[in-house]
């Protein structure tokens, strides 16, 4: 006798934290797969939550893509001078 649990017999939804990790692509791949399968099932309850956090993640990613305009006169030239006017001792 072997009962294979296929599908979701009972209504089980994931918490918001789970979907946050899902949107941010964090956590284990196993958990990620479970969440993906849940969405694949067409859960109308969890879908808006995922879309929300994915949108939040997208907004946060825009900052990373932002780059300063080109044409910066001051270029990072390295000129480290050793020594200085400091240091006067009797001698």
Summarize as ranges the residues that interact with Zn ion (CB under 5 A).
Answer: 13, 43, 45-46
Give the orientation angle of helix 47-65 with respect to helix 16-23, to 10 degrees: 40
DSSP 45: T
Instruction: Work out how close the CB of 47 gets to Zn ion at its nearest, in angstroms, rounded to a whole number.
Output: 8
8 or 56: whose CB is closer to Zn ion? 8
48 or 58: whose CB is closer to Zn ion? 48
Instruction: Work out how close the CB of 46 gets to Zn ion at its nearest, in angstroms, rounded to a whole number.
Output: 3
Q: What is the dihedral of CA 60, 62, 64, 69, to 10 degrees?
A: -150
């Amino acid at each position: 006798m072997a009962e294979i649990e296929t599908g979701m017999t009972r209504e089980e939804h994931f918490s918001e934290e789970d979907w946050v990790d899902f949107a941010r692509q964090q956590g284990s791949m196993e958990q990620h797969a479970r969440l993906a399968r849940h969405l694949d099932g067409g859960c109308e309850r969890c879908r808006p939550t995922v879309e929300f956090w994915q949108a939040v993640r997208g907004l946060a990613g825009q900052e990373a893509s932002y780059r300063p305009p080109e044409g910066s006169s001051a270029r990072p030239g390295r000129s480290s001078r050793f020594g200085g006017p400091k240091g006067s001792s009797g001698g």
